[in-house]
Chain A
Amino acid sequence: MTAGIGSSGPVKNRTTVERKSDREVVVTRTINGPARIVFQAFTQADLLRRWWVPRSMGMTLLSCEVDARVGGKYRLVFDFDPEPVAFFGTYVEVEPYSRLAWTNEEGGEGGSVTTVTFEETGGRTLVVLQETYPSKEALDAAGTGAAEAMIETFDQLDELLVTLAESSGQ
């Protein structure tokens, strides 16, 4: 009998994000459950659709298809004005309960690749999710969606190059 212990409710674990390089972002989070169940929640459509789109995102998932086998496809369709938007891709690595990788193909060629590892310790699972983009610009755009920010960055780079040229020329 272990039921009833800890009536204060589940502990919320910290989510960390780190830009590992110009093209890679790593997200980590410990989930309160065994790797087998966390893996299921990533790979079964009926479970995935319950958490992938939190209500706070203000988007409605119209359909969710997942075929989590190497070479298998996934497709998530969101309600959007003027027409629905689909996110889709292919699973490239599927190792039950420990590792998953899929491509993100909605943006055409050169989309990002998402790799997830699951590591269980004492009944809890550390999830490490890495998104690898084809270029720094693609990663920057994914975060803010602001093309202007990119132009501004290039302006700053221009300035920097001018400054460096000045300082090296004296």
Chain B
Amino acid sequence: MTLTGMKKHVAVLEQAGLVTTRKIGRVRTCQLGPRRLEEETAWLESYRQRWDERFDELDRVVEELTRKEKSDDSRNR
């Protein structure tokens, strides 16, 4: 990879807040952005869990109604 290419990659990561960089003299040091990726992941995971629990309950309700409808159907035949 060229130096220019590398710079572009780092700039994208930096803009996303996933790394921070620091230049001392001629050396630019990259570090992982503090907790940023973990925060993002934790946010998504708490959101996902909330909906997952809801949808588990929804599944139960829908399955019960579907079963009931089927048995009502066969009884009415």
Q: Which residues of A contact B (CB under 8 A)?
A: 3, 10, 12-13, 15-17, 19, 25, 27, 29, 31-34, 37-38, 40-41, 47, 50-52, 54, 56-57, 125, 127, 129, 140, 143-144, 149, 153, 156-157, 159-160, 163-164, 166-167
Contacts and interface: CB of A to CB of B under 8 A. Distances in A.
A74 to B, nearest CB: 15
Contacts of A40: 65
Contacts, number: 100
Nearest to A159: B20
B44 interface: yes
Contact of B21 (A15, A17, A31, A163): A163
B47 to A, nearest CB: 5
Interface in B48-77: 48, 50-63, 65-66, 69-70
17 contacts: A3-B70, A15-B51, A16-B48, A27-B47, A29-B51, A31-B62, A32-B62, A33-B59, A34-B66, A37-B62, A41-B61, A51-B60, A52-B54, A54-B57, A57-B50, A156-B20, A156-B36
B46 A144 contact: yes
A166 B23 contact: yes
A163 B22 contact: yes
Contacts of B39: 149
B50 to A, nearest CB: 8
Contact of B17 (A19, A140, A149, A156): A156
A5 to B, nearest CB: 12
Interface in B3-57: 14-15, 17, 20-23, 28, 33-34, 36, 39, 42-44, 46-48, 50-57
